Amino acid sequence: MPCASTGLTFERMNASAHEARWWRPLANGKLLCTLCPRLCEIPEGKAGFCFIRKNVTGRLQSLGYGKSTGFAVDPVEKKPLNHFLPGTMVLSFGTAGCNLGCKFCQNWDISKARIDERRSEEGSPDQIVGLALRSGCSGIAYTYNDPVIWAEYAIDIAAAAREAGLKNVFVSAGYVTAEARPEIYRYMDATNIDLKGFTEDFYRHVTLSHLEPVRETLAWLRHESNVWLEITTLLIPGRNDSDREITEECEWIVSALGPDVPVHFTAFHPDFKMTDLPRTPAATLRRAREIARRCGVRYCYVGNVHDAEGQTTFCPSCGSALIQRDWHAILSYRLDGDRCPDCRSVIPGVFHAGDHSADSWRTGGGRWRVSLH
Ligand code: SF4
């Protein structure tokens, strides 16, 4: 399949660099990248903050196009998505670089790397779709580093995946402009947005970005797209885990997005520039979940810990346990289509048709690496 933006085949594109979308030349001779709210002004021969969008002789090039830093088959619960085809596997990959500067980055070996510093595997959209199908995946996840910065590649793969009957999952911090959002999400079926905290101070100093554009993306996804949305907040001890901040986040989610958007609170481990802090205690995650429930969030989960209750989907009407999980594994599945089998309430999400309670597709929760070649 030729590239949607250039019309070139993958082989032709690789012969030359891949031209980016969402930029324009400025009077000062630099290029303005309008893909994310950072709005980098990029001089000749230089790359933007994310490392992988570069001004090459007056045209913006997407250096990450066609270059993955490795493929894995993951449970969809690892994205995390708990209300999107539970128990299925998704082919997952990323490239290099990132448009945020999180001091706690849990994937910093790829997010802080330049594309030429990482061993990458070259793959066309059709090759990646073929790998997903051969691996028995329900879809493809654009993940590990933020796919916003390699959106041209993600869009081309997603278009080919949809044609082949696969789903597309976009795992992002949601730091993207209103100009680029509709194109990026055109072929996406589900997304998990990493809402990194709920104060501008935290966003500014710990992630080197801003909160408001992320809230705008969340509202757009919920109200102006058909993409299934879940939210994750990594709770960092002493930085974004106060009762007040969690309460404000959850109150905003319920009022701006509604009570049915699943919220995941996950545990931080010391990494990158934040190795002086302890791991998030399980009690902090339980506290956050309690606050969320008090604020009216109907589906709140905890992650990166073992917590049977905090990882179970309960019917908000009758309280029945519908999907029981342990970490990323599904232990029991009682949904009948999208309904509670006991009180027949509809559970929001994208679920398998009919009664799957005895099916063998339940995942053990593991992951494995795969390769194109
Ligand atoms: S996508 Fe990259 S180059 Fe473009 S504005 Fe954002 S950080 Fe800068």
Q: Please indicate, yes or no, whether the overall pTM of this predicted structure exceeds 0.85.
A: yes
End-to-end CA distance of the chain: 19
What sign for the dihedral angle of Cα 157, 158, 159, 165?
positive
CA–centroid distance, residue 48 to ligand 1 (Å): 5
- Ligand 1, atom 6, lies closest to the CA of 36
Mutate to test the pocket of ligand 1, among 33, 60, 102 (most ligand atoms within 8 A of CB): 33
Choose among 13, 16, 42: nearest CA to 28.
42
- Ligand 1, atom 3, lies closest to the CA of 48
CA–centroid distance, residue 22 to ligand 1 (Å): 10
Question: What atom in ligand 1 is closest to the CA of residue 99?
Answer: 7
Q: For the chain, give the number of residues.
A: 373
CA–centroid distance, residue 129 to ligand 1 (Å): 27
Q: Measured between alpha carbons, how far is 328 from 279 in angstroms, rounded to an integer?
A: 19
Answer yes or no: are the C-beta atoms of 263 and 295 closer than 8 Å.
no
CA–centroid distance, residue 99 to ligand 1 (Å): 6
What sign for the dihedral angle of Cα 355, 357, 359, 362?
positive
Pairing of strands 31-33, 23-25: antiparallel
CA–centroid distance, residue 279 to ligand 1 (Å): 31
pLDDT of residue 15: 38
Choose among 176, 166, 233, 170: nearest CA to 206.
233
Q: Find the DSSP H helices in 108-262.
A: 108-111, 125-134, 151-163, 181-184, 200-206, 212-224, 243-252
Question: 3-state DSSP call for residue 43?
Answer: coil
Q: Measured between alpha carbons, how far is 17 from 282 in angstroms, rounded to an integer?
A: 47
- What is the DSSP code (8-state) at residue 277? S
- Ligand 1, atom 2, lies closest to the CA of 50
**Which two structure tokens, joined as six digits, stand for 38?**
């950072």
Per-residue pLDDT of the chain (373 residues; tens, 9 = 90+): 665 555 555 555 553 469 999 999 999 999 999 999 999 999 999 999 999 999 999 999 999 899 888 899 999 999 999 999 999 999 999 998 899 988 888 777 666 666 565 667 889 999 999 999 999 999 999 999 999 999 999 999 999 999 999 999 999 999 999 999 999 999 999 999 999 999 999 999 999 999 999 999 999 999 999 999 999 999 999 999 999 999 999 999 999 999 999 999 999 988 777 788 889 999 999 999 999 999 999 999 999 999 999 999 999 999 999 999 998 999 999 999 999 999 999 999 999 887 776 565 556 667 788 888 7
CA–centroid distance, residue 216 to ligand 1 (Å): 18
CA–centroid distance, residue 187 to ligand 1 (Å): 22
pLDDT of residue 335: 95
H helices, E strands: number in the chain: 9, 19
Mutate to test the pocket of ligand 1, among 46, 53, 150, 217 (most ligand atoms within 8 A of CB): 53
- Ligand 1, atom 4, lies closest to the CA of 33
Q: Measured between alpha carbons, how far is 138 from 115 in angstroms, rounded to an integer?
A: 28
Q: Ligand 1: which residues within 6 Å by Cβ?
A: 33, 35-36, 38-40, 48-50, 53, 99, 149
For residue 267, give the amino acid letter: A
